[in-house]
Structure 1
Amino acid sequence: MVVLAICSGLIGALAGMRFRVFILFPIIFVGSVALATLTASWSETTLAIVVFASSLQLGYVCTLLLRPTLVSLGGGVRLPFLGSPTLR
């Protein structure tokens, strides 16, 4: 469960650096389906989905709170990983 929480937090942090809030819903859905197929019992599945969703959101929020600090540390240099993706 600890590995799941750490990995979910990192995924949330990466999503927070790159995407807007609407990416959380598809990530949570896909992750929940993957966890439901990989875990053995129903009680483990429910707990794993709750841990995954909460850690993902926590990582996302922490990144949003740290984003101004990361931009200010750049010293006026545009950090490409902090921008939003554009469609062409």
Structure 2
Amino acid sequence: MQETITRKIFGKAISYELHIEESQRNQYQIHLSCLQPRLYQQMLSNSPALLENQLVTIVKDAAYKFTPQIDFQEPFFIDCSHNEVCLQARFSTR
């Protein structure tokens, strides 16, 4: 599953590409990357905690749309130093 998601933060729209793939039977990986690296870096320096919460919410919402029977393997891996990968998460279906 792959989709583009746009959210507002501080009145600015920021877009992400979300990709969910099955890594093993009933085990899934989520990759979320920002499509606007400069805006992402600006938001990151202004409010990293708010941005991190937004990323986790996007991933959880997308995963629950994918299947409601989920066990997340937390913590989420958030790499804010690279623009290509904002967040990676794993979940399994029950």
**TM-score tier (shorter):** 0.3 to 0.5
TM-score, scaled relative to structure 1: 0.36
TM-score, scaled relative to structure 2: 0.35
Q: Which has the higher strand share?
A: 2
